[in-house]
Amino acid sequence: MTTAVGTALALTLAVVFGWSGVAKLSTPGSTRRSLEEFGVPGRAAGWGAWALPLGECTIAIVLIVVPGPAFIVAGAASIALLVVFSVALARVVRAGEAVHCNCFGVASTAPVSWRSVVRNLALVVVAGGAVLLGGDAVAPTVAGFAPAQWTAFFATTTLVLAVVAVVAVATRARAGRASTAGEAQQGVLEQGPGRDGAEWPVPDLEVTDRGGRAVELATIASARPTLLVLLSADCTPCTTVAARLDGWADAVGASVGVAVLTSAEPRTFAERYPHLGAPVYYGSRSLMAAAQIAGLPAALLLTPARTVAAGPAQGSDEVAELLSAIGHVIGVNTDVLPVSHHEIAT
């Protein structure tokens, strides 16, 4: 009986890994972007976009048809991958980052959440049960089943796959709601800068402050117009912009505030920019998606009226032009400000 249950768990695990692998292979670009969002360097992410799904498909095949020690190795590999995935998911969720895992290709359009972590941990349990109770590949094992074992096998398989289906439907529904909200936001963005130059509403998003508290994005500029600068800890052009921020903020005085938004881990970001005086918030990827920001550095001018008055400026040159334009409006020549090289950690 336990063998039948373990074999059913192995089949379920194989289905999940096979589905995940094929889905990722069908969207390699999204898989690469997802890996980069999780902090994998660009070149490694490029390799990983193919190696990860191929590995998942290999595990699925071995679990089904390859008997003996290979089955145990595949089961152990699945557990290791799931644990690594769970840790990575927990890290970005805890940091408040809006990251899309692309776990199941186009079916994974919603940002990861604690639900994603729980799902992966549940799969760890399934994988452990498959190895401990099954002990061999699905195909050769079921060939020798007695009638009672077939009953247990089908019952377990049906139950587990039903749970997986319910989770998938719930996730898809959540993604659909997020997509609808995104389309509504996109309708607003189409009236924004770059099309007719008009101000547009600040996206209805939350970020987190250094203390981990949720902050509504629009409230960053509740007291005065605020230049929101998006930076990364591993972006070379970002260091150029960061080196100018404090001098620019001093020059414009109380007229315009400066705040920084990033998706880097707080410690990593602080080590990269140890002398940055502007307040720092975390969770920039949701804003990048909403405002169609393709790369960093970037900047937007937020107003107390909860609108974006200028931007998004993208790239160090455009950000510098935006700094100069704001300075010109308030009568400050920011083009001659010195660069503060101590902003950049060496």
> CATH no. for residue 302?
3.40.30.10
- CA-based nearest residue to 100, from 119, 91, 113: 113
**21 and 150 both lie in a single domain:** yes
What local confidence, expressed as pLDDT, does residue 87 receive?
Answer: 92
- Average pLDDT of the segment spanning 162-168: 66
- Average pLDDT of the segment spanning 181-204: 54
**93 and 134 both lie in a single domain:** yes
- CA-based nearest residue to 140, from 72, 52, 64, 57: 64
**117 and 65 both lie in a single domain:** yes
- Is there a cis peptide before residue 225, judged by omega within 30 degrees of 0? no
**101 and 21 both lie in a single domain:** yes
Q: How confident is the model at residue 33 (pLDDT cuts 50, 70, 90)?
A: confident
Coarse DSSP helix, strand, coil percentages of the chain, rounded to the nearest 5 percent: 60, 10, 30
Residue 230: is its pLDDT beyond 90?
yes
- Average pLDDT of the segment spanning 4-22: 87
**227 and 135 both lie in a single domain:** no
**89 and 173 both lie in a single domain:** yes
Q: How confident is the model at residue 96 (pLDDT cuts 50, 70, 90)?
A: low
Q: Which of 187, 213, 247 is the last residue of a domain?
A: 187
261, 207 contact by CB (below 8 A)? yes
Q: Is residue 130 part of a domain?
A: yes
Lowest mean pLDDT among 168-172, 253-257, 311-315: 168-172
Q: Could you list the residue range(s) of the whole structural domain that residue 31 is in? A: 2-187
Is pLDDT larger for residue 46 or for residue 2? Answer: 46
Q: Is residue 48 part of a domain?
A: yes
**95 and 169 both lie in a single domain:** yes
What local confidence, expressed as pLDDT, does residue 342 receive?
Answer: 42
Q: Average pLDDT of the chain?
A: 79
**33 and 173 both lie in a single domain:** yes
18/22 Cα distance (integer angstroms): 6
| Angle, helix 2-26 to helix 147-189, in steps of 10 degrees | 30
Beta pairing partners, 208: 214, 282
53, 26 contact by CB (below 8 A)? no
Q: Is residue 143 part of a domain?
A: yes
**153 and 74 both lie in a single domain:** yes
**32 and 129 both lie in a single domain:** yes
- Average pLDDT of the segment spanning 57-86: 91
What local confidence, expressed as pLDDT, does residue 194 receive?
Answer: 40
Q: Is residue 195 part of a domain?
A: no
Q: How confident is the model at residue 199 (pLDDT cuts 50, 70, 90)?
A: confident
Q: Which of 187, 220, 238 is the last residue of a domain?
A: 187
**158 and 230 both lie in a single domain:** no
Q: What is the pTM of this model?
A: 0.52
Q: Is residue 282 part of a domain?
A: yes
DSSP for 150-175 reads HHHHHHHHHHHHHHHHHHHHHHHHHH
Tokens found for residue 134:
């099954």
Q: Is residue 222 part of a domain?
A: yes
What is the total count of domains within the chain? 2
**168 and 229 both lie in a single domain:** no
Q: Is residue 194 part of a domain?
A: no
178, 214, 255, 286 from 206: Cα distances, Å: 14, 6, 25, 9
Q: Which of 187, 212, 230 is the last residue of a domain?
A: 187
